[in-house]
Amino acid sequence: MFDSQIGKWRLHFRRFRWYGVAVCCALVILGLNSIAVSQQPITIKVLMSALEATQWQPLVEKFEAQNPDIDLEIIEGPNATNLVEDLYTSSFLLGNSPYDLVYMDIVWTPKFAAAGWLMELSDRISEAQSQDFLAGDLNGGRYQGELYRIPFRSDAGMLYYRQDLLSAAERKPPETTEELIEISQELQAENKIDWGYVWQGKQYEGLAAMFVEILKGFGGFWIDPNTQEVGLDRPEAIAAVSFLRETIESGISPSGVTTYQEEETRRFFQNGKALFLRNWPYVWALANAEDSPVKGKIGLKPMVYAPGHESAACQGGWGLGISKTTQHPDEAWRVIEFITSAATQKKFILETGYVPSRRSLFTDQEIVAKYGHYPQLLEVQESSVLRPPIAQYAQASDILQRYLSAALTDRMTPEKAMAGAATETRNLLGR
């Protein structure tokens, strides 16, 4: 009888044991789940070209190691810049953009800001914090006084020259447009070099970038973003166009420059066929590569200008903004802070050879040890000029490109072409 009692208890115990195990399991699962939910990292998405996405990979890994609560997801887009812009544009036009961060070219900023797709960043960064950034690059992220983009890697146009040939002729690198023409003609006459100066003259965005430098170097302007005034038909602008035409007419530049983009001009210069070249910073590494005929024979300096004015470099570069529709602006900002920090930029630049957006890095010991020309590059970057930061920049640029190309290929006189460009630009701006 006693036995049977024990047997009953056992039975009870067994039954309860299963209940107990089941309840414990449920609790554990629920518990784990709630821990997992609270620790689920927030995903921050950004779109960029597939090429650059690969270069970003080490930065992403480092960021995620330091910030386990954020999952930084890079979406690989096409390598062509305009296609990336199209993808961002459609995602915003359709309403809820899947991207929390916008990695953008400097010229997109006003358009995206004017369309209301970007979050204002002025409150997030103090005056002191922004001091180290290149002024031109930071200003390129402003639209109507408000900051929308923090620069990550910078870019600027400059003049490359053949140091060896200039030294042999006992000439200093040219400061003014007149000196550039004079030196070119002298060395060409002595058969030291085939051509004097190559630049980008094809009808495309690079033409506008090249032209703002010459335009500023002649004391002119394209569009004043504050007053919306158009300066393309002023005497300074016409003089700038005439200078470009003169380089072709006087035989300093090959007539083919009107069909050249960056790469054509780089190959031309790198093969030792030209004395001067207008191009971006990427040329330095390629022209100094082992198999380059001009290795160790070149120098760089800020662009030439008309006597009495000063030199100008077209500001380019990429930076990050926050999408207005993001659910996680604070986490997105933490990504920006990390990516644009001096330490991250330094690591990125040492690996890829891009140009930093922070002034201090141009003279950083490690960077200078690897890229000896960066101190000169800083001089170029400090003379930078922006393409007009207006919302309708893409349209204004297309108008200028069309008329400028017509003037350079002798289909219109500089006066007529610039008058046409100015009229259409004024119509565009509603003036």
The residue to which tokens 């330490």 are assigned? 343
The residue to which tokens 């004043």 are assigned? 224
Q: Determine, following the binding rule CB under 8 A, whether residue 105 of this chain makes contact with another protein.
A: no
Q: Determine, following the binding rule CB under 8 A, whether residue 344 of this chain makes contact with another protein.
A: no
Q: How far is the CB of 199 from another protein (least distance, A)?
A: 17
CA 407 vs CA 36, 410, 418: distances in Å? 65, 5, 8
The one among 46, 361, 399, 400 contacting another protein by CB under 8 A: 399
Residue (117 or 218) nearer to another protein, CB: 117
Q: Determine, following the binding rule CB under 8 A, whether residue 116 of this chain makes contact with another protein.
A: yes
DSSP string, 117-151: -B---GGGS-HHHHTTB-HHHHHTTEETTEE--EE
Distance CA 329, CA 120 (A): 11
Strand 355-356 to 150-156 pairing: antiparallel
The one among 87, 114, 135, 419 contacting another protein by CB under 8 A: 114
Residue (193 or 429) nearer to another protein, CB: 429
The one among 125, 342, 394, 419 contacting another protein by CB under 8 A: 394
E strand or H helix at 179 = helix 177-189
Residue (114 or 135) nearer to another protein, CB: 114
Site string for another protein, 188-227 (x = CB under 8 A): --------------xx------------------------
For residues 368 and 386, the answer to whether their CB atoms sit within 8 Å is no
Half-sphere exposure of 113 (CA within 13 A, CB side): 25
Q: How far is the CB of 424 from another protein (least distance, A)?
A: 7
Total site size for another protein, rule CB under 8 A:
25
The one among 221, 270, 392, 407 contacting another protein by CB under 8 A: 392
Q: Residue 283 — left, alpha, or beta (φ > 0 → left; ψ -120 to 50 → alpha)?
A: alpha
The stretch among 56-64, 170-178, 260-268, 393-401 that binds another protein (CB under 8 A) is 393-401
Backbone angles phi, psi at 198, to 5 degrees: -115, 140
Q: How far is the CB of 405 from another protein (least distance, A)?
A: 6
The stretch among 15-23, 113-121, 269-277, 331-339 that binds another protein (CB under 8 A) is 113-121
The one among 259, 288, 360, 376 contacting another protein by CB under 8 A: 259
Sequence-ordered list of residues with C-beta below 8 angstroms from that of 299, at least 6 positions apart, any chain: 160, 161, 162, 163, 166, 173, 376
Residue of 315, 318, 319 whose CA lies nearest to 125: 319
Footprint on this chain of another protein (rule: CB under 8 A):
86, 89, 93, 111, 114-116, 202-203, 259, 391-392, 394-395, 398-399, 402, 405, 420, 423-424, 427-430
